[in-house]
Amino acid sequence: MNEERYYDEIPYRSKIFKESLPENSYIAGLLYGVNGVLPDKARVLEIGCGVGANIISFGLNHPKSKLVGVDLSSKQISMANELKKRLGTKNIEFIKKDILEIDKKFGEFDYIIAHGVYSWVSDDVKRAIFKIFKECLSENGIAYLSYNTYPGWKGKEILRDIMLYRNGEVSSNNKIELGFDTLRHLKNNALDGVIKKVIDDNYDDLIKRNPSYIMHEYFESINSPNYFHEVASCAKDSGLNFLCEADWQSSIFPPVNENLNNALKAESKGDRVRFEQFIDFIVNKTFRRTLFTKAKPKDEVNIEFSNLDKFFVSGNFIYDNTNRVYKNAQTNTIMPKGMGKLFDKLSEIYPSNLSVGEFISELKTSKSDEEIREFYTNLAYLLCSKKVDFSIYKKELLNDIPKKPKLGKNSIELVKFIKEYDGIVSFFSPLYDNIQLNSDCDYELLPLMDGTRDIEELASELVNLEKSGKFNFIIEDMVVEDESKIESMAKAYVKDKVDLLFKFGFLV
């Protein structure tokens, strides 16, 4: 099946890839001395945009940016246009177009995004993607490319081969089921060796994945991973430079000890691509999200303390009394010591963010120059390690949950769209997170959060839904029949949901 028909028949679930968006690329540029265009005024192109959730989420936050989404599948482009219309996003144009047809006449862009495309297209389209980067990227532009990588995919490829073989040439509706069935047999019977190891390493994760992901990775006609050095070499041939990974902490803090780090540095002789390729061998890398620039980046991260003042930071932290450390409440990561005051303040205003400049001016009234320098050093570490969320924009969100919770108008429209189009896009937040919705009840419950009902009233609406047979509360595989139990479970469900929506910045 050709690519256009494939995605027309099986549209790909569209969601946000936060690290592909210009806010992230812009900060990566700053770290390596490339001054990108400010995202809120940028021209952005997403190639292979699918149903467009990623670029639409960015457009909603930055109405002055100029955005274009391109995809080969007319069905996905028409859904993207419908979503755009429902959300009232005026600054995006979705165009059905083949990547092969795009050249410099198509326009100039400050950011180009290609997520989930490169490894799943033929070599001529791969070359065309780099041609687009070369011809359509502005002077200080930044391109984002994600792709499957070797050596990690050498193993996964075996699983793909096995599942494809089981399905043969016959197109079947239960490809995934048949494929998993064979893997299950092999898991129980394969003799010790590479296949057994690969199945043992991947099976449990694989069977939990979304079917559209499995179809895309394991059953699409093309999945051709590359070594990082091969992709970087194509970039170089197109006049582009490797900036860093979109998750730059992996570039800045490679997971090797100091001795090995030094040995690899010596072997690589300052060639960052060669160095990172060795790291990929060490970690058995399966996927990369790489940023490329036309401008030449610095070889090392260079952070001027005064530049940190321009950032806004956010996060939710808990103090672990036993170990006497702060931990990130979401990721449980241990935070560096000596910054408790910042973590307390951030938790207090969470999910809003805080101006670093303002916080430091206040600190300066009570701290010595040396202490302030140490604070900046820690802050630079937090930025490089991505242990705290850094933004260049102020996010003013509610600091408390209102008595009558209200979702933003766009979020309500988004839920309605998701319901109508059977979950084809994720429920995405203004902070670029994807939230899992329970289709049985959230599709009905969330639109009721329009600021006219308190938790009790929302809970009683949920009880009505339960009574109408839309869903049931279940305890240990048994449907709950007791009315007072149903009421208390409904109230707890609504409370948790509102709490979650608040934390992810959905409430207005």
Q: Which of 9, 41, 85, 98 binds ligand SAM (CB under 6 A)?
A: 98
Which is closer to ligand SAM, CB of 32 or CB of 118? 118
Which is closer to ligand SAM, CB of 49 or CB of 199? 49
- Residue 83 interacting with ligand SAM (CB under 6 A): no
Torsion angles phi and psi, residue 434, rounded to 5:
-100, 125
Binding mask 203-242 for ligand SAM (x = CB under 6 A): -------------x--------------------------
Instruction: Identify each DSSP E strand in 40-166 by its residue range.
Output: 43-47, 66-71, 92-96, 109-114, 137-150
Residue 96's DSSP bridge partners are 71
Candidates 55-63, 114-122, 170-178, 309-317: pick the segment binding ligand SAM (CB under 6 A). 114-122
Q: Tell me how far, at minimum, the Cβ of 115 lies from ligand SAM, in Å.
A: 4
Paired tokens of 450: 């329009």
Paired tokens of 316: 């939710």
262/251 Cα distance (integer angstroms): 15
- Residue 280 interacting with ligand SAM (CB under 6 A): no
- Residue 473 interacting with ligand SAM (CB under 6 A): no
163/180 Cα distance (integer angstroms): 7
455/110 Cα distance (integer angstroms): 45
Torsion angles phi and psi, residue 383, rounded to 5:
-65, -45
Q: Tell me how far, at minimum, the Cβ of 73 lies from ligand SAM, in Å.
A: 4
Of the candidates 359, 425, 453, the residue with the CA atom closest to the CA atom of residue 86:
425
- Residue 116 interacting with ligand SAM (CB under 6 A): yes
Q: Which of 115, 134, 406, 497 binds ligand SAM (CB under 6 A)?
A: 115
Sort strands 317-320 and 325-328 into parallel, antiparallel or unpaired: antiparallel
- Residue 79 interacting with ligand SAM (CB under 6 A): no
- Residue 99 interacting with ligand SAM (CB under 6 A): yes
- Residue 12 interacting with ligand SAM (CB under 6 A): yes
Cβ-proximal residues to 446 (8 Å cutoff; 6+ apart), any chain: 407, 411, 412, 415, 437, 497, 501
Sort strands 325-328 and 287-293 into parallel, antiparallel or unpaired: unpaired
- Residue 428 interacting with ligand SAM (CB under 6 A): no
Cβ-proximal residues to 408 (8 Å cutoff; 6+ apart), any chain: 430, 506, 507, 508
Candidates 113-121, 151-159, 265-273, 428-436: pick the segment binding ligand SAM (CB under 6 A). 113-121
**Distances in Å between the alpha carbon of 478 and those of 123, 474, 481, 490?**
53, 5, 9, 16
Which is closer to ligand SAM, CB of 125 or CB of 383? 125
- Residue 119 interacting with ligand SAM (CB under 6 A): no
Q: Tell me how far, at minimum, the Cβ of 101 lies from ligand SAM, in Å.
A: 8
Do the Cβ atoms of 183 and 218 come closer than 8 Å? Answer: no
Which is closer to ligand SAM, CB of 314 or CB of 434? 434
Candidates 6-14, 253-261, 311-319, 423-431: pick the segment binding ligand SAM (CB under 6 A). 6-14
Q: Tell me how far, at minimum, the Cβ of 223 lies from ligand SAM, in Å.
A: 10
Binding to ligand SAM in span 13-72, by CB under 6 A: 14, 48-50, 70-72
Residue 318's DSSP bridge partners are 327
Q: Tell me how far, at minimum, the Cβ of 178 lies from ligand SAM, in Å.
A: 22
Cβ-proximal residues to 420 (8 Å cutoff; 6+ apart), any chain: none
- The footprint of ligand SAM on this chain (CB under 6 A) covers a number of residues equal to 22
Do the Cβ atoms of 31 and 384 come closer than 8 Å? Answer: yes
- Residue 246 interacting with ligand SAM (CB under 6 A): no
Q: What residues line the site for ligand SAM (CB under 6 A)?
A: 3, 7, 12, 14, 48-50, 70-73, 76, 98-100, 115-117, 120-121, 125, 216
